[in-house]
């Protein structure tokens, strides 16, 4: 009897604790076509990887799923591992490269959304929206927050990392009247002239002059705990910290302590180290706005991200050149 030809398998791995996909793999399956098996798996850790997942031809991985060397060495036929998002710090890209497995990401899908979210957190802090909301819902108004409200044209917006999202956030802040400065040691001279903002040559200088510090750099060995006790102490006591990049860039223990002690005036954190918040005490931290690692989300952005990931998986299965490779494996 003739042997049935095996269909390639693309495994889409979502986080069981808080699934990001609201429709399984309908979009991915449409892009990949009927000649590919597209399956959806809910997992929490690498221990949840089944033999079927380990035998997939391509993996599309949502946030919070760690992929270490131990798992990479068990992948039997993986032609590409695609991080469904911008960051790829959850994947051991060096170990993947050693095994000739390309790791790809989707670097541009959420640029507008994350920049908008950073500005939304900034305005919520500088205009004290949540204290005002709480006060308006109590009988009588005392406007206890009125002395904390700020005029944007008198404030400095400091950007750490002037990549796609950092640039988009900087331009939005500039349009709102902020003076905008940035720190990014990896960019060539003259970038600030093209964008029309100012450059600082050290993180300390940016922290000391900024009224809002907005983080837009990737998480790496270089940026892990880039903002900790020392850096927070260098900020103005009236300044705000905004993080829509990666939780591990800001030391959670340090920022929560700084808020409790009044070292800084407030923080807007879409991403938090070891997220989500673990205790009621953490959640009660004063002057903290926390959102659910949702800055990247929008209907339009999710469609763009998922279809791009599926398109890269299809390139891998068809043996074509892959887009957005981050570990140098072609």
Give pLDDT tens digits for 160-202: 999 999 999 999 999 999 999 999 999 999 988 999 999 999 9
For residues 283 and 85, give the distance between their C-alpha atoms in angstroms, rounded to a whole number: 27
Structural tokens at position 309: 């990931």
- Pick the catalytic residue: 28, 113, 231, 275? 275
Instruction: Tell me the CA distances in angstroms from 207 to 219, 254, 307, one per residue in order.
Output: 19, 15, 38
pLDDT digits (tens, 9 = 90+) for 237-296: 999 999 999 999 999 999 999 999 999 999 999 999 999 999 999 999 999 999 999 999
Which CATH fold topology does 9-109+298-317 show?
Rossmann fold (3.40.50)
Alpha carbon 101 to its chain's center: 23
> 16-49, pLDDT tens digit by residue?
888 888 889 999 999 999 999 999 999 999 999 9
Q: Is 293 a catalytic residue?
A: yes
Is residue 221's pLDDT more than 90?
A: yes
Dist CA 301 CA 303 (whole Å): 5
Scan for tokens 């908008």, then name that residue: 116
Q: How far apart are CA 301 and CA 305, in angstroms?
A: 6
Asked if residue 75 lies in contact with residue 101, where contact means CB atoms within 8 angstroms, the answer is yes
What does residue 102 show for φ and ψ, rounded to 5 degrees? -70, 135
Whose CA is closest to 98, among 132, 120, 75, 69?
A: 69
pLDDT score for 224:
97
Looking at the chain, the domain(s) classified CATH 3.40.50.720 span 9-109+298-317, 111-290
CB neighbour list of residue 186: distance below 8 Å, 6 or more residues apart:
none
Query: In which band, very low, low, confident or very high, does the pLDDT at 66 lie, cut at 50, 70 and 90?
Result: confident
Sheet of 37-43: strands edge to edge? 37-43, 9-15, 58-61, 80-83, 103-104
Predicted structure pTM score: 0.83
Catalytic residue among 79, 246, 273, 306: 246
- The position carrying tokens 């793999």 is 25
CATH fold, domain 111-290, is: Rossmann fold (3.40.50)
Nearest C-alpha neighbor of 312 from the set 14, 112, 85, 87? 85
Q: Classify residue 154 by its DSSP letter.
A: G
Chain segment 226-241, per-residue pLDDT in tens:
999 999 999 999 999 9
Which of the residues 293, 300, 304, 306 is marked catalytic?
293
Cα→Cα distances 22→40, 226, 292, 330, Å: 11, 34, 16, 32
């Amino acid at each position: 009897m003739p042997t049935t030809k095996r269909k390639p398998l693309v495994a889409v791995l979502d986080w069981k604790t808080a699934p990001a996909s609201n429709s399984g793999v309908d979009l991915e399956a449409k892009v990949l076509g009927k000649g590919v098996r597209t399956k959806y798996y809910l997992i929490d850790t690498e221990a949840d990887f089944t033999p079927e997942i380990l035998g997939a031809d391509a993996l599309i991985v949502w946030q919070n799923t760690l992929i270490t060397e131990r798992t990479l060495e068990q992948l039997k036929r993986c032609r590409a591992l695609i991080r469904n998002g911008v960051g790829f710090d959850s994947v051991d890209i060096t170990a993947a490269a050693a095994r000739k497995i390309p790791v790809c990401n989707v670097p541009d899908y959420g640029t507008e959304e994350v920049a908008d979210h950073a500005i939304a957190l900034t305005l919520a802090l500088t205009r004290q929206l949540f204290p005002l909301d709480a006060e308006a819902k109590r009988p009588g108004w005392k406007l206890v927050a009125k002395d904390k409200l700020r005029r944007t044209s008198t404030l400095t917006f400091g950007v750490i990392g002037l990549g796609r999202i950092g640039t988009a956030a900087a331009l939005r802040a500039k349009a709102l009247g902020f003076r905008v400065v940035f720190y990014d040691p990896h960019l060539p001279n003259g970038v600030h002239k093209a964008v029309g903002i100012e450059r600082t040559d050290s993180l300390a200088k940016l922290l000391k002059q900024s009224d809002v510090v907005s983080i837009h750099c990737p998480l790496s060995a270089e940026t892990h705990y880039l903002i900790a006790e020392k850096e927070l102490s260098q900020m103005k006591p009236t300044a705000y910290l905004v993080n829509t990049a990666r939780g591990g860039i800001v030391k959670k223990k340090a920022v929560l302590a700084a808020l409790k002690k009044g070292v800084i005036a407030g923080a807007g954190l879409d991403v938090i180290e070891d997220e989500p918040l673990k205790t009621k005490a953490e959640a009660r931290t004063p002057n903290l706005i926390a959102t659910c690692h949702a800055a990247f989300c929008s209907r339009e952005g999710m469609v763009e991200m998922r279809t791009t990931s599926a398109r890269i998986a299809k390139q891998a299965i068809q043996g074509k050149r892959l887009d957005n490779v981050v570990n140098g494996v072609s």
